[in-house]
Amino acid sequence: MRLGTWFHICMTISYARLLLKRSERDEEPQRMFWDKNKKRFISYHRAFKLLDEYEQRGYGFVPCCENIDDEGRCLGHENRDKDPDPGYGRTPQNEKKAKELGYRL
């Protein structure tokens, strides 16, 4: 069974900045931006710099994939026979890992 074209959910840069400020104020760990190379979340300082870089590029949205428009929004992806992001989303494995790391679900 084919799932059809799928799109990443996009968040505006201003809303991402608001969420980061709120989390930082509440002294929660930064859980929005992930460094794939180092396999960890980046610091608040680096996250705010990253949002500044996106705004300088003219994006209104936080880019969430490689296939984006001029604003940073996902343009969609071809049909897939399986979950497009097998490493993300609410799966039993991911929920177990999140609990191990101490995240509230």
pLDDT tens for each residue of 29-83: 888 888 888 888 889 999 999 999 999 999 999 998 888 899 999 888 876 554 4
Residue 61 is part of which domain span? 13-100
Give the confidence band of 28 by pLDDT, cuts at 50, 70, 90: confident
Residue 50 lies in a domain: yes
Q: In the chain, how many domains are there?
A: 1
Report angle CA 46, 21, 100 to the nearest 5 degrees.
75
- The pLDDT of residue 11 is 93
Residue 84 lies in a domain: yes
Does 22 or 93 have the greater pLDDT score? 22
- The pLDDT of residue 99 is 67
pTM above 0.85, yes or no: no
Residue 5 lies in a domain: no
| Among the listed residues 19, 1, 21, 7, the one whose alpha carbon sits nearest the alpha carbon of residue 78 | 7
Residue 6 lies in a domain: no
Residue 28 lies in a domain: yes
